[in-house]
Structure 1
Amino acid sequence: MRRVAVTGIGIVSPLGNNAADVWQQARAGRSGIRRLQTPFAHHLHAAIAATVDCDEALATDTLQSRLRDRFSQLALYAARQAVAGARQPLDGADRARTGVFVGTGMGGTHTMDSGYQTLYGAQSDRINPFTILMGMHNAAAAWIGIEHGLRGPNLTYSTACSSSAVAIGEAWMRVACGQLEVAIAGGAEAPLSPGSMKAWEALRTVATVDADDASASCRPFAKNRSGMVLGEGAAMLVLEPWDRALARGARVFGEVLGYGVSNDASHITRPSVEGQAAAMRAALQSAGLQAQQVDAINAHGTGTLANDSCETAAIRAVFGAHADRVPISATKAMHGHLLGAAGAVECVLALLAMEHGVALPTMHLQQPDPDCDLDYVPNQARDGVAARVMLSNSFAFGGTNAVLALRGG
């Protein structure tokens, strides 16, 4: 198995539209969660979300742009950044051995919601003729492949909230085993349509709005946590063999060491300690690591009652006494839950945290929960954390758990 370097990072998120801005916001503990000002906000019990502010950058009036749902636009935006930042990673590459791996939980939600409103709300038959092409889950990956002329595997993974961690892990395996020269891997999600947000509310997993500060509504691992806050965005990585990256003088942001995946096989929504622990152990085994070699963790940390206590127990089950010495960051408190794109965004933040020697804060953790008793870096970033190896956890409805093992650059 070859070492696999991360040589490009692209991100568009509630914390900013490039890696530098996202890092500054996360380091400062600023939240991208805000009250919604959309026309349908009055229909929501909790009219908050973590939104992306890049509409001007996405507003290109071409035939192709009119064929793309918002999630595809966000994915392309992030992929362009990643490729540009990797400094010509495709030059000299065999395009038949370059691949695209994208995770999304909900695909073209805006397009599908609009079609239903036309058909059932307006009682009209004038459905957008491109609805299927815009709404299909593999549209984002397809557009990335088309734009960059990548003729290798073009694969989309939809495993709910672990989708993009699975995409990165699957891409890593193909580069590591020699099947591919280069891969673009990550995730994209744009779930903030009226129908989607009402459906999530109906599931009773969405946080109540903090009366004093709406931006503090997501409180992972806190005793007074009430649920998750939906977010939108995309993050993409360029992966290539370590030796190739060094030979062409590329900047290396870090390394994907391994990847573990497991299935709860017990309940469609309820997480399990056994399933989460199995994914972490599989990631360690894949990377050839012992638990004591892990310096930090980016937690799944949704802010829901069930997940956070379960994840705490799973970390303890894997790390034993070492769990008390591992700083754990739950960044969804700031950028919200990007569902299928969450794993990719958090992978980016983990790589940046190691680069800067900082443990990112778990914000809004004023009330500790006795059932969540690990070091969650509460409310303020911690400098001087010499983390070389991190795990990034992604757990999902449906039971697919995915964990990435990462090393800093």
Structure 2
Amino acid sequence: MVHQVVITGMGVVTPNAGSVAPFWEANLTGKSGLSLERRMDLSALPCGWVAGIIPDDIKKSVEARTGRPGRPWVDMLLHATVDEALKDAGVEGPLERPAGLLWSRVWPGPSGSFPDDYVAYMKNIAERQKMVGDDRAAALERLRAEPAPPGLSDLSAFPTDISNRLSTPLVTMGLEATCAGGLRGVAEAARLLRSGKIGLAIVAAGVSRNNHYVLSQYAQLMALSRWQGAPEQASMPFDRRRSGMVINESAGALVLETAEHARMRGVDTVHAVVGGWGLAVDISHVTAPRIETVERVMRGALKHAEAMPEDIDTVNAHGTSTRLNDITEARALHRIFEGRMKSIDVCAVKSLTGHGSAASGVVESVVAALTLCRGVVPPVVTCTEPDPKCDVKTSLQPVERPVRTVLKNSFGFGGQYASMVFKRPLNPRLEAAAVAVD
């Protein structure tokens, strides 16, 4: 017997909202979270001036709720979204059975995430070099004597903290699948749940990586937006003017369980059903997506979900706003849906949030689930001059229509590909959960 896997809890922190309810409203109204990156001097870079930065009021709220001595910012984001998802699902510890934790954490490591952290780290390296030179033993002794300041460490107690919170053993898996990591985490969670080894699973992904080093690396790849107009317009998936992606800081979390397990807990309504998925690793090119592989993972998701192309009502696209990715994804969609592409509404969340690496797959799955429950496809307000070479159907206004299935795509550097079919549950959650996050 194949157990049906459902989403019972969701949480997000993004540049345009601090929890699920305002995030959904932001998607429907076209509220952007993109702004000029004023925290550091980027005048020497040919791009990257715009970023998806979490506003100060949301940041202060997250820090107040989840901040701890020595806890890095990205872990605060992870905890904030997991807290919301667990409350949304009505999950409290201790649990009777082991739980799963599938997580991805994109963090520049000891260099820190915020520009000031990065500068402090580089100064520390320079001072150490000046004092001990290339003497490895002396360098190690100095490092032991002067541990890294709080917030600069790449060490994470996140899995331990979640296990302690739930008072239950965890089956944990740290995922590294670049921008496909979040969606791959959902697939791995579903596998564990269907195996019967765990009772429920948490999928969480967080990213915070805005510093000079990261931006310069993306700039060398010519992957970042070179838009010099209004910052909220900088990420424009499927628009003929698109010039690159905008990176952000964000996090998302989902609680998944089998439908039987949810019913046993007394859960009456759920957000979505995980229908099926397609996964692939293609090593033919580090950064350039291949249309054949994009097509293959989407067809794989359809087959696994026992769905036909005509069953798909809308596509929640990867939609990075890069020249190559958007047209590759669009052409693969045309191969699968052919003439139906004229009637399939396409959503591209990164138009408002920017690109959150692995976190984007989780955050955008929240939008996919809400689309299923509410029967509304969010607009792509930055696609005001649609690229005829992409030829996908986006809208400048929310589209109200019955939605039974959503095809969700996530692709990443290193040849990582993931696609998933979400289905509308028989008992959809039609109203936002009353989850306090302040």
TM-score of the two chains, using structure 1 as the length reference: 0.91
Q: Identity over the aligned pairs, expressed in percent?
A: 26
Please report the RMSD computed on the Cα atoms of aligned residues, expressed in angstroms.
Answer: 2.5
- 1:331 maps to 349
- 1:367 maps to 385
- 1:207 maps to 225
Aligned-partner SS, 2:112: helix
- 1:68 maps to 71
Within the candidate set 158, 162, 167, 2:176 is matched to: 158
Residue 161 of structure 1 deviates from its aligned partner by: 0.7
- 1:228 maps to 245
Residue pairs, 1:122-271, within 5 angstroms: 122-123=127-128, 129=147, 135-136=153-154, 140-211=158-229, 213-250=230-267, 251-271=269-289
Does the 8 Å contact 2:5/2:258 carry over to 1? yes
Aligned-partner SS, 1:5: strand
Does the 8 Å contact 1:218/1:227 carry over to 2? yes
Taking the aligned partners of 2:394 and 2:155, their CA distance within structure 1 comes to: 34
Residue 14 of structure 1 deviates from its aligned partner by: 1.1
Structure 2: which 5+ runs fail to align? 130-138, 429-438
- 2:421 maps to 405
Taking the aligned partners of 1:48 and 1:22, their CA distance within structure 2 comes to: 20
Matching residue's letter, 2:344: V
Taking the aligned partners of 1:277 and 1:183, their CA distance within structure 2 comes to: 29
Does the 8 Å contact 2:101/2:173 carry over to 1? yes
Aligned-partner SS, 1:166: helix
Determine which structure has more spread, i.e. the larger CA radius of gyration: 2
Moved more, 199-208 or 16-25: 199-208
Aligned-partner SS, 1:279: helix
Residue pairs, 1:15-94, within 5 angstroms: 15-41=16-42, 44=45, 45-53=47-55, 54-60=58-64, 65-88=68-91, 90=93, 92-94=95-97
Taking the aligned partners of 1:107 and 1:153, their CA distance within structure 2 comes to: 25
Residue 43 of structure 1 deviates from its aligned partner by: 5.5
Q: 1:207-255 CA deviation, whole Å, 9 max, x = no partner? A: 01332x1111111111110000001111101111102212323241111
Taking the aligned partners of 1:255 and 1:137, their CA distance within structure 2 comes to: 34
Q: 1:107 to 1:289 in 2, by over 3 A?
A: farther
Matching residue's letter, 1:11: V
The answer to whether structure 1 residue 301 and structure 2 residue 303 are counterparts is no
- 1:101 maps to 102
Q: 1:97-122 CA deviation, whole Å, 9 max, x = no partner? A: 20100123446475384674143355
Aligned-partner SS, 1:67: coil
Residue 404 of structure 1 deviates from its aligned partner by: 1.8
Does the 8 Å contact 1:299/1:328 carry over to 2? yes
Residue 39 of structure 1 deviates from its aligned partner by: 3.9
Residue 150 of structure 1 deviates from its aligned partner by: 4.0
Taking the aligned partners of 1:60 and 1:24, their CA distance within structure 2 comes to: 24
Taking the aligned partners of 1:168 and 1:3, their CA distance within structure 2 comes to: 13
Matching residue's letter, 2:62: L
Structure 1: which 5+ runs fail to align? none
Taking the aligned partners of 2:243 and 2:186, their CA distance within structure 1 comes to: 30
- 2:124 maps to 119
Aligned-partner SS, 1:65: coil
Within the candidate set 390, 393, 404, 1:388 is matched to: 404
Aligned-partner SS, 2:365: helix
Q: 1:132 to 1:276 in 2, by over 3 A?
A: farther
Taking the aligned partners of 1:307 and 1:41, their CA distance within structure 2 comes to: 25
Does the 8 Å contact 2:93/2:168 carry over to 1? no
Residue 276 of structure 1 deviates from its aligned partner by: 0.8
Matching residue's letter, 2:412: A
